[in-house]
Amino acid sequence: MVGSPKQPGQETEQLGEDRSKIISLAQPLLASITEITESVESIEIEQENLIEIGCYFQRTSPAIMELISSENTPRNATEILQSLSKSINFAKYLVRKCHSRANLISDDEVRNVIEQLMCVVRDMGECLSSIPPSTFGDQEYAEVAVHSLSKEMQQAHLEIGQPAEQKSNGSNSITVPAEEKTENGPAETDLYSIDIDVSIEKFQFLDMPQHVSLPEGINYMGQKDQLSSNSISVKSRPQVAKYMEPLYKTFFCPLTKTIMDDPVTIESGMTYERRAISRWLKKFENNQEEAFCPVTGNKLVNRGFSANLSLKSTIEMWKERNEGTRIKVARAALSLASSDDMILEALKDLQIISQRKKYKVQVRSSGVMPLVAQFLEHKDLEVRCATLKALQSIVMDDDDGKSRDVYAYDIGNHLVEKHASLTFLLELSTSELLCEKIGSATGLILMLITMKYNRSLDYFSAEKASSEQRQVEMAGYLGEIVLGHETRTFVAEKASPSLLNMVLSRNTLQRKAALKALLQISSYHLNSNILTEAGILPILIEEMFTQRNHNGPKDSKESSAAILANILDSGIEFENLKVNSQGHTMASDYVVYNLIHMLRNSNSDEINIHFIKVISCLTKSHQSRGTIVAVVKETEATYKLIELINSTNEELGTAALKLLIILIPYIGHMISDRLCKTRDQPENLIKKPTEVYRITERHAIAANFLAKLPRQSVAINLALLHKGTLPTIIQTVNEIQRSGTRASRFINSYLEGLVGILVRFTATLHEPEILFSARHQNLTAVFTELLMRTTSDEIQRLSATGLQNLSAESINLSKPPTIKRTKLLKLFHVPRSLSFGSSKKKTQVCPIHKGTCSAQLTFCLLDARAVERLLACLESGNPEVVEAALSALCTLLDDKVDVEKSIKILSEAKTMQNILHMLKEHREESVLQKSFWVIEKFLSKGNDSSTSDISQNRLLPSVLVSAFHQGEGNTRQMAEKILTHLNRMPNFSTNLSMWWSP
């Protein structure tokens, strides 16, 4: 049948509708993929396999973005995205299953989950293969990459349940048949093949939020990147971060905050960098009984540790894949060479990668060397010098590489180029195989002898006017170059005394250069002990607090404060470290008073940032924390800090908020009072971002600051209410829930802060305006939904706390139903906008509160169906979540309610079975108190059917006896009551084994 002809513009309109539908399908799909890849890192069981599966999911994101950004959108695009969404949703269910049952899931179940996830991977690979080649148009590289990924995913296989030693044999546990490798060439290890010469514009994707795990300006080895994003155009080269696999938190050492090279696991089960934990344990050599884990705080009976070969292998494979991607991106940039900036950035990136011998081999095998060498004859001096440095880094410590790659070039006339050229030749001369070739070049032998035996006469040194100038230039060099971890430690040990002497000199340039070098050295936390032992603290304090007679660099105080912040942030024990000849220590009043005085009087944003960081670090000490609180009260420094949170400087505002959060437990009411007296506060702290993925750290910290202020502060709560923030917060929470909590790295923290602010309002329900708003916004329903719609423990805890506060008011709000309306009342018409709930619910009598109840008007948990969701929270592994859920349930057993009927309803919901099951996992004091209180209520007010589970439980008597002997006062009393009810009270004249026998 021939269809009717389309009207003009109809086809274009249809295309726009299809594109809109495709994008609406793709956005939540990409968010879900990111959520999965970040979730698997927190699952400890079969973690290595789960991380590898997560990498597969993450690598599909660019393929999806290519699909939706293509001008040749295929007809089956919607079906492809729907199929991928179905697979990803099933994967999310499997990952959440591992999360929720982490302590209960068996090995067989784990294997089954991983096998199902691998089926999902293979299904997604098959789905990607259905993308027609015409989709990519002339973008051949994208077609090859997606085809390669699809093939790899369809053939993916994991060896499940093998020992870590077998998995760390240097090869990836994902296997590809050998015949595929030989027939079709080596499989791509990243999504985009950079082997094809393509224009740089093809690397740009649809403007959609993307997950980039590498911190800006930092490479994966924890080094500051030489490539300044401010000095080079964004369009100058392919964006490396788009092709990197996600960076997992488990890769980081808790002590050094950098990716581990040699991870080891100690007795507490925590994993650290070998060198870092060795230094930590060395502190306890003279008192081994005091040794404890720096993260968990548990005492260490055994101070030994074992290599975590599985994690080490996973990190190494991650590095190899990502370094391979960086090399390919650099190779593509050198091939294009569309600008000098692009060439420089690629050369410097190759220089950084080649610092480690393992990746140097990858650079050489990539075929990039001829591309690099061609720029030795480039017209730009900076490019030629960068080429020499890159070549030197690549061939250093590699005699075979030197023998294969010798390049003929003219040594230029410029001093910088001459020095770089001769340095490279000196490196080449260390290879015996090259000596003959170098010796045959006219003049080279003379130059090399000059450098080796009389360095003061080389082209740069001849220009030096004095030894002081050489020191300045060397210090400046140390402040500019990128140093590896081992190099920074070596430099700290060897150069610290000289650099500190330079700081003490009267030469302004010397002091400035030395401080810059010390700032970089101090950025590596393991150098803190070296610097303090060299005597840096008195010098820094002198620079910060004392006015010199001679002229010093204007940024001396800023650099000194930055170095001090780095040292204190490393976790060094500073309380007893002396800072001057008068005997003052780092934790003394002298230091605290001066720091806060300088903060109050400083107008420099950069200096204030470092002052606040130093003060925040000092609060970790009990001694200095008390002094800081006292001085802040005395000097009214809170006004200054509240002023700074309004700063346009993002980092300064964030730092001020963090310090105020630390001070809240001590002067929270003072901060609340002064915040309300500040113009445009507190409402400006919760400005809604224009888009969810634009949420910054400052947004998150500001929301959490408001949430942590004393909740009983009516002034703040009313100020927020009058500015209409309550409906705005609820709307934002709903938007975040719909978009997924992985759209921004700070979004989860931001969401926790918003929910915490909602809880604030439940603490002041005695205020009529707040009570009206809580009813109007139906906070009971909001918190009930949040209990199950989040994987965040903190949000679950806050939601349960909010329900507890609301439910505590139910008995006061529930009133007996009106039996008959008078004719007078019927004359008054209540506007529909002020009517809450249905008339049917208003006539019902709540069996617990003995009056008219509803979730919206009286906050009744029974009407809100919140009991089942609170009971589900008892399965959480977080004791704070369990305690909050129990506290909310306890409001239904208050003496003011009908306890007997409440127990009957709770029994039907299997409350006691859930509590007794929870006691198998949790023995925390606060959890035991709440649990025992509920159990005692059931025993004293319930009937035989409601107490049968208690009397028949075999575990409970031993828990009670243990709490009776070891618990605190209230816990012990409750345990005694329950044992008496059960006739199991220990008889001290009988054998211990008979205390709880029938």
> Residue 588 has which token pair?
């003394």
For tokens 């808790």, the residue is 254
Top mean pLDDT of 50-64, 308-322, 335-349, 648-662 is at: 648-662
Report which of 825, 754, 766, 817 is spatially closest to residue 790, judged by C-alpha positions. 754
pLDDT for 345: 87
3-state secondary structure string across 845-858: ECCCCCCECCCCCC
Phi/psi at 318 (nearest 5 deg)? -60, -45
Instruction: Give dist(CA 480, CA 808) in Å, integer.
Output: 61
For tokens 């995205």, the residue is 81
For tokens 């719909």, the residue is 738
Residues 144-173 have pLDDT tens digits of 777 878 888 888 887 665 443 443 343 333
pLDDT for 683: 81
**939 alpha-carbon distance from chain centroid:** 46
Per-residue pLDDT averaged across 937-949, rounded? Answer: 84
pLDDT for 493: 79
Instruction: Give dist(CA 942, CA 826) in Å, integer.
Output: 43
* Contact yes or no for 300/215 (Cβ under 8 A): no
Residues 952-994 have pLDDT tens digits of 888 888 888 888 888 787 888 888 888 888 887 766 544 444 4
Helices 925-941 & 879-890 angle (0-180, nearest 10)? 30
**Which stretches of 362-491 are assigned E, i.e. beta strand?**
none
Instruction: Give dist(CA 967, CA 961) in Å, integer.
Output: 10
Contacts of 639 (CB under 8 A, 6+ apart): 674
Report residue 426's pLDDT band, with 50, 70 and 90 as the boundaries.
low
Per-residue pLDDT averaged across 459-488, rounded? Answer: 52
Report which of 43, 19, 103 is spatially closest to residue 882, judged by C-alpha positions. 103
Instruction: Give dist(CA 700, CA 695) in Å, integer.
Output: 7
Instruction: Provide the whole-model pTM.
Output: 0.53
pLDDT for 208: 32
* Contact yes or no for 899/909 (Cβ under 8 A): no
> Residue 664 has which token pair?
């809240």
CA quadruple 175, 176, 178, 181: dihedral sign: negative
Report residue 481's pLDDT band, with 50, 70 and 90 as the boundaries.
low
Across 217-221, 539-543, 980-984, least confident range: 217-221
pLDDT for 108: 76
Report which of 232, 483, 185 is spatially closest to residue 333, judged by C-alpha positions. 232
Instruction: Give dist(CA 741, CA 754) in Å, integer.
Output: 13
pLDDT for 986: 64
pLDDT for 804: 94
Query: Could you check whether the bond before residue 986 is cis, i.e. omega within 30 degrees of 0?
Result: no
pLDDT for 680: 79
Helix (H, G, I), strand (E, B) or coil at 646: coil
pLDDT for 774: 93
Q: Which value, to the nearest 10 degrees, does the dihedral of the CA atoms of residues 67, 70, 71, 74 take?
A: -20
Residue predicted with more confidence, 535 or 97: 535
CA quadruple 449, 454, 455, 460: dihedral sign: negative
Q: Is residue 755 predicted with pLDDT exceeding 90? A: yes
Report residue 689's pLDDT band, with 50, 70 and 90 as the boundaries.
low
pLDDT for 549: 41
Report residue 225's pLDDT band, with 50, 70 and 90 as the boundaries.
very low
Percent of the chain surpassing pLDDT 70: 72
Residue predicted with more confidence, 741 or 933: 933
DSSP 578: B
Instruction: Give dist(CA 699, CA 273) in Å, integer.
Output: 33
* Contact yes or no for 682/737 (Cβ under 8 A): no
Instruction: Give dist(CA 959, CA 963) in Å, integer.
Output: 6
CA angle 332, 241, 243 (to 5 degrees): 60
Residue predicted with more confidence, 406 or 577: 577
Report which of 211, 222, 194 is spatially closest to residue 245, judged by C-alpha positions. 211
Contacts of 958 (CB under 8 A, 6+ apart): 996
Per-residue pLDDT averaged across 490-498, rounded? Answer: 77
* Contact yes or no for 748/741 (Cβ under 8 A): yes
Across 197-201, 437-441, 485-489, 733-737, least confident range: 197-201
Top mean pLDDT of 51-60, 192-201, 380-389, 793-802 is at: 793-802
Instruction: Give dist(CA 626, CA 790) in Å, integer.
Output: 38
Percent of the chain surpassing pLDDT 90: 19
Strand ranges of the sheet holding 271-273, from the earlier edge strand across to the other edge: 271-273, 263-265, 306-307
Per-residue pLDDT averaged across 220-241, rounded? Answer: 38
Residues 589-616 have pLDDT tens digits of 899 999 999 898 888 888 999 999 999 9
Contacts of 558 (CB under 8 A, 6+ apart): 604, 606, 607, 610
pLDDT for 568: 92
CA quadruple 121, 126, 131, 136: dihedral sign: positive
Phi/psi at 941 (nearest 5 deg)? -115, -15
Could you tell me the end-to-end alpha-carbon distance of the chain, in angstroms, rounded to an integer? Answer: 85
Q: Is residue 428 predicted with pLDDT exceeding 90? A: no
Q: Is residue 175 predicted with pLDDT exceeding 60? A: no
Across 293-297, 474-478, 867-871, least confident range: 474-478
Instruction: Give dist(CA 600, CA 608) in Å, integer.
Output: 9
Instruction: Give dist(CA 555, CA 515) in Å, integer.
Output: 10
Residues 102-136 have pLDDT tens digits of 556 677 777 888 888 888 888 898 898 888 888 87
pLDDT for 320: 78
Residues 775-785 have pLDDT tens digits of 999 999 999 99
Contacts of 313 (CB under 8 A, 6+ apart): 48, 164, 167, 168, 169, 170
Residues 291-342 have pLDDT tens digits of 899 888 888 888 888 888 867 877 887 777 778 888 888 888 888 877 888 8
